[in-house]
Amino acid sequence: MANFEVVLFDADNTLFDFDRAEDAALRGVLAARGYPTDGETLGRYLSINRALWARLDRGEVTQSWLVVERFAAFARAMGREDDPVSFNRDYLDRLAQGAFLLPGAEELCRALAPHCTLALITNGVARAQRGRLARSPLGTVIPHLFISEEVGAAKPSPAFFEPVLRQLGNPRRERVLVVGDNLATDIRGGLEAGLPTAWYNPGHLPNTTPWTPRWEVASYAGLAALILEAPTSQIEIKEK
């Protein structure tokens, strides 16, 4: 028997290669609208976008405002007049095509699927996320997709996790594992919902936040071991 009944996976940069999808979508939309696609221009958008998502994670702004404002701010920074609503829509339609998985993600999920219920939990934009899952090989492996925009609350709020758990039949909380790369949303959310948490940290980043995951794993092999193999009490090496 697996150590967990349900695994709630964050999508971007946990199973999906968001950086690659973002890069492809961004280059496409910039070229289509007559902007340069050099590294400096891309970097300008990325830093505007990153700062806005950090504000969202702190609960300072809404997602629907953020997704339009990032392109409004970018156009302003480029000294251009542009319609940020259609800019964002074009970008998301391109992003939805970018169903790139991180190497090994498909194999991991195929190994877990016979033993536990898998679900994706994401604060991404619904317009992009549904398409990305459907186009990826995980569309047939992960039966549940919970998107903050559709749930009506976002990670890390317990108001996001409560309806997710309800829809999964209210499993015992200690039998539900939250896996994600983001301490402020995935790990904090799991902790505040009373769920065991595993921080996926392949880059061995330092934890500079107040949120301490129960486990830290640097590879999919480590994650598979945590979920399927040893009694979790024996995985001391990954305890934090």
The residues carrying an active-site annotation are 10, 12
Give least dist CB 185 to Mg ion, A: 7
Which CB atom, from 30 or from 52, has the smaller least distance to Mg ion?
Answer: 52
Crossing angle of helices 18-32 and 39-57, rounded to 10°: 120
Give least dist CB 6 to Mg ion, A: 18
**Which residues in 103-122 contact Mg ion (CB under 5 A)?**
none
Which CB atom, from 4 or from 18, has the smaller least distance to Mg ion?
Answer: 18
Give least dist CB 184 to Mg ion, A: 10
Which CB atom, from 178 or from 235, has the smaller least distance to Mg ion?
Answer: 178
Show the site string, 155-194: x = touches Mg ion by CB under 5 A, - = not: --------------------------xx------------
> Is residue 69 part of the contact set for Mg ion (CB under 5 A)?
no
Rounded distance between C-alpha atoms, residue 204 and residue 181, angstroms: 11
Give least dist CB 180 to Mg ion, A: 6
The edge-to-edge listing of strands for the beta sheet with 144-147 is: 144-147, 117-122, 6-10, 176-180, 197-200, 215-217
**Which residues in 3-22 contact Mg ion (CB under 5 A)?**
10, 12-13
**Tokens 């979790």 -> residue:** 232
Q: How many residues bind Mg ion (CB under 5 A)?
A: 5
